[in-house]
Structure 1
Amino acid sequence: MMAARLPDAVLFDLDGTLLDSAPDMLAAANAMRARRQTAPMLLAELRPHVSKGARAMISAAFPGIDEATREAWVPEFLASYQAELGRHCSAFEGIEPLLSTLEAAGRPWGIVTNKPEFLAIPLMPMLGWQERCAVLVGGDTLPVRKPDPAPLLHAARILGIEPERCAYVGDDERDIVAAHGAGMPSVVALWGYRLSTDDPFAWRGDVLVEDPRQLCEAAAWPARN
């Protein structure tokens, strides 16, 4: 009965949803700051910006820089992050029980992230997910990325499951916008990264969840038609 009420497949955002990658990002940002003779920043200062992407994190690490400088520093930030990849991060508490629950119920799960493939794919064996993750769509897999729904639709096609029979779990407004556009039920991951100005209730996700372990119960998922 429980398995019958679960989505046929579940797609997840990566950073801030499955993976607490902020410590790796902090190491990358502080490496850039050190090269500019700037004192290290604290994890609490960077953490809320992680799901907003490299540009947002650069702006947080270097307040007041202009847009052209920020853009020019993106490759350096990504290279610094690549050097720290997987060294400090871990799955959020409760993610492994959730993934095991889905697997035991025969429900495939995958990842749709805005992280480029060259950074997302190497994380899979580091986390023990290489053989478990059924599909991974990165931010450069297609010409567009979230909030465009195309990456979610692409992942559903690879799985061979209609979008409305899947669910998408994410911690950023872009995730929920993409899910709406794909016609895919959405779950707001409240355990993820958010700015103090973010209002996840305004994103109009189908359900909001405080802890991944809640999703081990079928009743916590959006109602199926």
Structure 2
Amino acid sequence: MFDLDGTLADTAPDLAHALNVLLEQYGNAPLPLDQLRPRASQGARGLIEEGFKISINDPFFEELKEQFYTLYQNNLCSQTRLFIGVPELLDYLDLHHIPWGIVTNKFKRFTDPLVSLLGLTHRSGCIVSGDSYARAKPFPDPLLGASEELQLIPEELVYVGDDERDMIAAQAAGMAGIIARYGYLGSDKAPELWPHQAIIEHPEELIRFIHYLQ
């Protein structure tokens, strides 16, 4: 199973675009993509914190978040692309009849149309969003729900993600966690310190890990 932002797809350009439009609407200078990319896995919260230098507890935060959501929803997939190597990896999984799915903290209103625009809707065995269950990652609920949808026990699954919350959720669900180092790595802690079973530098490296498990 895969996280979406920063693992399957490079969504940072479109997320950053939405934030920069919002910043400019309030008279602020846009920020470079390189500065925003590490916050992309944290969604609206991380990007607004980075751009406006306010916390989630600020009374203005909710208003900014809703404006950000509107801007992003209107521009979901202009520059978003699957990471290099992901199409080949998914082709391999499909060719060898290895089931796979998507588990993301992105809300369903964004996940479903984006996955469709990326051409993955009918290929993925499950698509679980951040509001599919009462608790999102780092809680294990979405991963456990996805395992039920795939009709597999958690111990038979691996979860690939680029955020510390992904690895915490995988560990809590009893799944092997694989860190996608090519992703956004949105954490103050070095990835090597996150709970994990493996680290991959490129999506196609996962094929070697699958061979090892077999």
> Take 1:164 and 1:194, find their aligned partners in 2: how far apart are those partners?
25
1:166 aligns with 2:167: no
> Take 2:195 and 2:137, find their aligned partners in 1: how far apart are those partners?
16
Aligned-residue sequence identity (percent) comes to 39
Q: Map residues 45-194 of structure 1 onto 2, 5 A cutoff.
A: 45-64=35-54, 67-194=58-185
Q: Deviations over 1:80-125 (max 9, x none)?
A: 1111101111011110111111111101111000000010000122
Which of the pair has the greater relative contact order for Cα pairs under 8 Å at 6+ separation? Answer: 1
Shift of 1:196: 7.4
Structural RMSD (CA): 1.7
Tell me the amino acid that sits aligned with residue 104 of structure 2: T
> Take 1:191 and 1:202, find their aligned partners in 2: how far apart are those partners?
16
Q: Which ranges of structure 2 fall in alignment gaps of 5 or more residues? A: none
Runs of 4+ in 1 over 6 A off after TM superposition: none
Q: Which ranges of structure 1 fall in alignment gaps of 5 or more residues? A: 1-10
Q: Deviations over 1:199-218 (max 9, x none)?
A: 1110120001111111122x
Tell me the amino acid that sits aligned with residue 162 of structure 2: D
Tell me the amino acid that sits aligned with residue 40 of structure 1: P
Aligned to 1:7: none
CA contact (8 A) 2:41 2:186 kept: no
Question: Is 172-181 or 191-200 further displaced after alignment?
Answer: 191-200
Shift of 1:222: 8.9
* Length, aligned pairs only: 213
Q: Deviations over 1:171-219 (max 9, x none)?
A: 00100000001101111100010257331110120001111111122xx
Corresponding residue to 1:33 among 11, 23, 44 = 23
CA contact (8 A) 2:139 2:172 kept: yes
Aligned to 1:205: 196
CA contact (8 A) 1:186 1:222 kept: no
Return closer, same or farther for 1:95/1:147 CA change in 2, 3 Å cut-off. Answer: same
Return closer, same or farther for 1:75/1:213 CA change in 2, 3 Å cut-off. Answer: same
Name the SS of the counterpart of 2:101 in structure 1.
strand
CA contact (8 A) 1:187 1:222 kept: no
The alignment's TM-score, normalised by the length of structure 2, stands at 0.94
Tell me the amino acid that sits aligned with residue 27 of structure 1: H
